[in-house]
C-alpha cells in the first residue's frame, strides 16, 4: 500500500480501500469488480472469501488477483494468512491483536500485514509495535461488535496525529466516508454500501471519490 502522510504534514485526500462481500463464485464476481476498479483509483482490495476447501479458496484468489493487481491495487485477504503466498495475494488483514500477532511473522517482510478489530488504543499501539503496515478503525471485531462512530472518529484523529503507520477508516455506509476522511484516515474502506448501491458499484465508488476527494482512476 502507498506511503502515508507523516504526522505533522499537510493532510491530503485519502485513498480508497475496497472491501468485497464474501466471495463464493469468483468468476461471476470478476466483472463487477473490474467495473468498480475502473470507476475510481483504488489502492487496495480486501477480499473476503466464503468458506470452502483450500484448493477452491486458492483458485478464487488467483482469479480475482488477475483482475485487481494489473490495476496497481494490492490484493489483501481477509484472514487466510497461510494462503497469501501460495495464492499470489499481496498480504492479509487480521482481525484482533491475537490473530495479528499469530500471523505477522508469516507475512513480513514480503507481504502486507494489516490489523483491524482493535478494541482499544492499547491494541492499536501493540499492532503498530508488532509490525502492522496499517491499522483499521471502524470495522467489526471478532465478536461482530463495532465501536460507536464517534469513537471511531476520535481514534482516527488520535492515531493520525501521533503515528506514522497508515490508518484506515472503515465506512459502514457511504455517508460515513467524508467524516472518516476529515478525521485523518489515510485510506477509507468501503464495502457493502458499494455493492448494494441501486445504480451499481461503479456509480457508488465514483460518489465516494467526490465525497472524500480521492484520486480518479488512471487513464
Distance CA 79, CA 15 (A): 22
pTM for the complete prediction?
Answer: 0.92
Exposed (0-12), middle (13-18) or buried (19+): which is 137, by Cβ within 10 Å? buried
Beta strands in the chain, from DSSP E residues, in sequence order: 15-19, 42-47, 74-78, 91-95, 112-116, 134-137, 167-171, 187-190
Each of the 219 residues of the chain gets a pLDDT tens digit; together they read 533 333 344 558 899 999 999 999 999 999 999 999 998 999 999 999 999 999 999 999 999 999 999 999 999 999 999 999 999 999 999 999 999 999 999 999 999 999 999 999 999 999 999 999 999 999 998 778 899 999 999 999 999 999 999 999 999 999 999 999 999 999 999 999 999 999 999 999 999 999 998 655 544
pLDDT at residue 217 in the model: 53
In the chain the domains, ranked by start, together with CATH numbers, are: 19-145+163-173+194-199 (3.20.20.70)
Contacts for 173-176 with beta carbons within 8 Å, 24 or more apart? 174/204, 174/207, 174/208, 174/211, 176/138, 176/149
Distance CA 97, CA 119 (A): 9
Average pLDDT, the chain: 92
Amino acid at each position: 500500500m502507498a506511503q502515508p502522510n507523516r504526522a505533522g504534514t499537510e493532510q491530503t485526500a485519502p485513498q480508497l480501500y475496497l472491501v468485497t462481500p464474501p466471495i463464493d463464485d469468483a468468476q461471476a464476481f470478476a466483472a463487477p469488480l473490474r467495473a468498480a476498479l475502473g470507476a475510481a483509483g483504488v489502492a487496495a482490495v480486501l477480499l473476503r472469501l466464503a468458506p470452502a476447501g483450500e484448493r477452491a479458496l486458492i483458485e478464487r484468489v488467483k482469479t480475482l488477483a488477475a483482475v485487481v493487481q494489473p490495476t496497481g491495487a494490492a490484493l489483501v485477504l481477509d484472514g487466510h494468512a497461510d494462503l497469501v503466498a501460495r495464492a499470489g495475494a499481496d498480504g492479509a488483514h487480521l482481525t484482533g491483536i491475537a490473530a495479528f500477532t499469530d500471523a505477522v511473522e508469516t507475512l513480513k517482510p514480503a507481504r502486507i500485514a494489516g490489523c483491524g478489530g482493535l478494541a482499544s488504543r492499547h491494541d492499536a499501539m501493540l499492532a503498530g509495535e508488532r509490525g502492522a503496515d496499517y491499522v483499521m478503525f471502524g470495522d467489526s471485531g471478532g465478536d461482530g461488535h463495532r465501536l460507536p462512530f464517534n469513537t471511531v472518529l476520535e481514534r482516527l484523529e488520535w492515531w493520525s496525529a501521533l503515528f506514522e503507520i497508515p490508518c484506515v477508516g472503515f465506512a459502514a455506509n457511504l455517508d460515513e466516508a467524508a467524516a472518516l476522511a476529515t478525521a485523518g484516515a489515510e485510506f477509507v474502506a468501503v464495502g457493502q454500501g458499494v455493492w448494494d448501491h441501486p445504480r451499481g458499484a461503479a456509480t457508488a465508488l465514483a460518489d465516494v471519490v467526490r465525497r472524500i476527494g480521492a484520486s480518479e482512476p488512471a487513464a
